[in-house]
């Protein structure tokens, strides 16, 4: 990069960030700002998985004046066509469709791979991207299993790549302030954090083995996972509830708020993990728990719990998602949005901070687009200027591991003793079989 170009980027990035956060000025479109910035100064992106969440995230990246989406990578041709149509309306260049994201990684112009494919692809795709010299925006969870999480951390370090996990609340201003106040003693020493997620998900029924649709490359969709016959109740969303591809509600939604709990308590790895739960509401193909409680104890004399109820949406603290910290002098509640409340020991509300932007907690694909811009720009600043990430792959792995350990404890029907220095399970062969996964023959090479 020339000194002239570097100077130009420095001058324009701040302005571009302000536009992204504050909105486009009257009379100007996102395309107009992108043209002002110049295509050579924009970070170039490929999006892997564009059906739902990927469509939302990719569109948000495209709306940033200092970014351009070059590739739509999806095994579903219908989803890719829809995504390309949306992105073309936002930016001045039509993205190219590739079924296999590895083709996009071969393009030297691509700076960032956005990984929004199913969970079993998260770490493998991130590792491949790092090897190819790309930076990564990685949707949560960081990995399908603990071994892959550690490999993703190692790849980011080995190839010196910026890898950000999609724990967007790490970049939300009022949440940042809340955690800072917590650490400064607003409720005394916090020693217990309770997080939760509730929903009213319907039954997924019993799937029928059927012919793979013409619009789907099912073999590539399965990728590293051992092969299973196509059934009509897996693609797209229901894969979350099958262990071969998904990780259950704990990693699907629990990761976000367990991450906040870990942040607030100032912990990394636990000493003891237990979990209870199961599939209680319906009799169908759903394998992961629809109701689950995970308990984690930490070496600094603190406790964390996560409660997931996929099929009963009764709220906690008046909201469907959130975390509450209990301390020596009171409690702090961080709900699903950019806000928090502080109570004294007599349950009196002593402080309330609300965000101006509304959060659609019931929106499964794009609940917080405006606020998520802050997370995106943090990634760009990390790449351009070396700014520390608000949610790097190390922290992303640590938070993901907590709920992974909960799932392992449940599946192994065992309370786990954990090494607090490494997060590794101690003296439990039955549990360790879930530390890693089996791969479709030949695919394990991608992780080496």
Nearest alpha-carbon partner for 145 in 390, 373, 354, 433: 433
Q: Going along 4-59, which residue ranges are E strands?
A: 43-48
Note whether 217 and 106 are same-domain residues: no
Residues 142-171, mean pLDDT to the nearest whole number: 98
Position 316 pLDDT exceeds 50: yes
Distance from the first to the final alpha carbon of the chain: 31
Q: What is the Cα–Cα distance from 84 to 92, expressed in whole angstroms? A: 12
Position 167 pLDDT exceeds 80: yes
How high is the pLDDT of residue 38?
57
Note whether 151 and 203 are same-domain residues: no
**Number of folded domains in the chain?**
2
The token duo for 284 is: 């169908």
How high is the pLDDT of residue 53?
94
What CATH number is attached to the domain comprising 78?
3.40.50.720
What is the helix (H) or strand (E) element at residue 228, kind and residue range? none
The answer to whether 75 and 121 have CB atoms below 8 angstroms apart is no
Note whether 74 and 182 are same-domain residues: no
Of all residues in the chain, the percent with pLDDT exceeding 70 is 88
How far is the CA of 147 from the CAs of 132, 381, 384, 448, in angstroms? Answer: 21, 29, 30, 12
Domain boundary residue, one of 385, 420, 435: 385
The answer to whether 253 and 288 have CB atoms below 8 angstroms apart is no
Note whether 198 and 52 are same-domain residues: no
* Mean pLDDT across the chain: 91
Task: Please give the residue that has the higher pLDDT: either 359 or 276.
Answer: 276
Residue range 220-238, pLDDT digits in tens: 999 999 999 999 999 999 9
Nearest alpha-carbon partner for 16 in 395, 382, 324, 380: 380
Task: Please give the residue that has the higher pLDDT: either 101 or 22.
Answer: 101
How high is the pLDDT of residue 106?
98
Residues 291-308, mean pLDDT to the nearest whole number: 98
Q: Which residue segment(s) compose the domain that 267 sits in? A: 171-364+393-447
Residues 99-103, mean pLDDT to the nearest whole number: 98
Cβ-Cβ contacts under 8 Å for 231 (sequence gap 6 or more):
207, 208, 209, 210, 285
Note whether 228 and 296 are same-domain residues: yes
Residues 51-79, mean pLDDT to the nearest whole number: 97
How high is the pLDDT of residue 446?
83
Lowest model confidence (mean pLDDT) among 38-42, 165-169, 274-278, 400-404: 38-42
How high is the pLDDT of residue 448?
78
Domain assignment present for residue 194? The answer is: yes
Residues 4-32, mean pLDDT to the nearest whole number: 41
Position 263 pLDDT exceeds 70: yes
Domain assignment present for residue 55? The answer is: yes
Residues 149-154, mean pLDDT to the nearest whole number: 98
Residues 319-331, mean pLDDT to the nearest whole number: 98
Note whether 255 and 273 are same-domain residues: yes
Note whether 47 and 177 are same-domain residues: no
Position 123 pLDDT exceeds 50: yes
Domain assignment present for residue 371? The answer is: no
Domain assignment present for residue 119? The answer is: yes
How high is the pLDDT of residue 129?
98
pLDDT bin (cut points 50, 70, 90) of residue 2 is very low
What CATH number is attached to the domain comprising 279?
3.30.360.10
The answer to whether 236 and 51 have CB atoms below 8 angstroms apart is yes
Residues 321-327, mean pLDDT to the nearest whole number: 98
- Left if phi > 0, otherwise alpha if psi is -120 to 50, otherwise beta: which for 309? beta
How high is the pLDDT of residue 29?
53
What is the signed CA dihedral for 44, 48, 54, 60, rounded to 10 degrees? 0
Residues 304-317, mean pLDDT to the nearest whole number: 98
Note whether 75 and 140 are same-domain residues: yes
The token duo for 3 is: 């000194």
Note whether 193 and 303 are same-domain residues: yes
Note whether 111 and 210 are same-domain residues: no
Domain assignment present for residue 297? The answer is: yes
pLDDT bin (cut points 50, 70, 90) of residue 16 is very low
Q: What is the Cα–Cα distance from 81 to 57, expressed in whole angstroms? A: 16
Q: What angle do CA 80, 16, 23 make, to 5 degrees?
A: 75
The answer to whether 137 and 389 have CB atoms below 8 angstroms apart is no
Position 25 pLDDT exceeds 60: no
Domain assignment present for residue 374? The answer is: no
- Left if phi > 0, otherwise alpha if psi is -120 to 50, otherwise beta: which for 176? alpha
Residue range 33-46, pLDDT digits in tens: 455 555 568 999 99
Note whether 282 and 313 are same-domain residues: yes
pLDDT bin (cut points 50, 70, 90) of residue 19 is very low
Domain assignment present for residue 370? The answer is: no
Residues 294-304, mean pLDDT to the nearest whole number: 98
Q: Going along 160-258, which residue ranges are E strands?
A: 163-165, 190-198
How high is the pLDDT of residue 31?
57
Domain assignment present for residue 373? The answer is: no
Query: Helix H segments across 23-145?
Result: 30-37, 53-62, 77-90, 101-105, 119-131
Note whether 152 and 189 are same-domain residues: no
Nearest alpha-carbon partner for 280 in 292, 291, 264, 265: 291
Residues 128-148, mean pLDDT to the nearest whole number: 98
């Amino acid at each position: 990069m020339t000194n002239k170009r570097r100077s130009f980027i420095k001058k324009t990035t701040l302005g571009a960030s302000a536009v992204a956060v504050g909105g486009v000025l009257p009379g100007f479109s996102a395309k107009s700002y992108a043209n002002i910035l110049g295509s050579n100064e924009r970070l170039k992106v490929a999006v892997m998985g564009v059906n739902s969440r990927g469509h939302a995230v990719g569109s948000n990246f495209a709306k940033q004046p200092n970014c351009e989406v070059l590739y739509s990578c999806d095994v579903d041709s219908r989803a890719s066509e829809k995504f390309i149509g949306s992105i073309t309306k936002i930016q001045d260049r039509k993205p190219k469709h590739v079924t296999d994201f590895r083709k996009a990684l071969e393009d030297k112009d691509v700076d960032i791979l956005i990984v929004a494919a199913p969970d079993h692809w998260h770490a493998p795709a991130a590792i491949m991207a790092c090897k190819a010299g790309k930076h990564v925006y990685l949707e949560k969870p960081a990995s399908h299993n603990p071994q892959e999480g550690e490999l993703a951390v190692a790849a980011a370090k080995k190839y010196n790549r910026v890898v950000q996990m999609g724990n967007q609340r790490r970049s939300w201003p009022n949440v940042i302030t809340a955690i800072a106040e917590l650490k400064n003693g607003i409720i005394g020493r916090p020693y217990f954090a309770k997080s939760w997620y509730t929903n009213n998900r319907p039954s997924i029924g019993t799937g029928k083995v059927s012919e793979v649709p013409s619009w789907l490359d099912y073999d590539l969709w399965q990728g590293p996972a051992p092969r299973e016959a196509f059934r009509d109740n897996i693609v797209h969303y229901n894969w979350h509830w099958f262990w071969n591809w998904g990780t259950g509600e704990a990693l699907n939604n629990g990761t976000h708020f367990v991450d906040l709990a870990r942040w607030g308590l100032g912990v990394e790895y636990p000493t003891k993990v237990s979990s209870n739960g199961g599939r209680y509401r319906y009799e169908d193909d759903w394998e992961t728990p629809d109701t689950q409680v995970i308990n984690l104890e930490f070496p600094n004399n603190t406790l964390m719990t996560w409660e997931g109820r996929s099929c009963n949406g009764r709220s906690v603290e008046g909201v469907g998602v959130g975390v509450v910290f209990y301390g020596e002098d009171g409690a702090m509640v961080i709900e699903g949005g950019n806000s928090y409340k502080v109570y004294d020991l007599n349950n009196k509300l002593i402080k309330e901070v609300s965000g101006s932007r509304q959060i659609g907690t019931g929106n499964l694909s794009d609940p917080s687009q405006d606020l998520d811009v802050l997370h995106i720009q943090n990634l760009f600043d990390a790449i351009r200027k070396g700014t520390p990430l608000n949610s790097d792959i190390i922290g992303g792995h640590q938070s993901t591991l907590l709920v992974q350990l909960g799932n392992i404890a449940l599946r192994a029907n065992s309370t786990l003793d954990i090494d607090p220095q490494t997060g590794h399970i101690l003296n439990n062969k039955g549990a360790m079989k879930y530390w890693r996964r089996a791969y479709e023959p030949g695919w394990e090479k991608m992780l080496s």
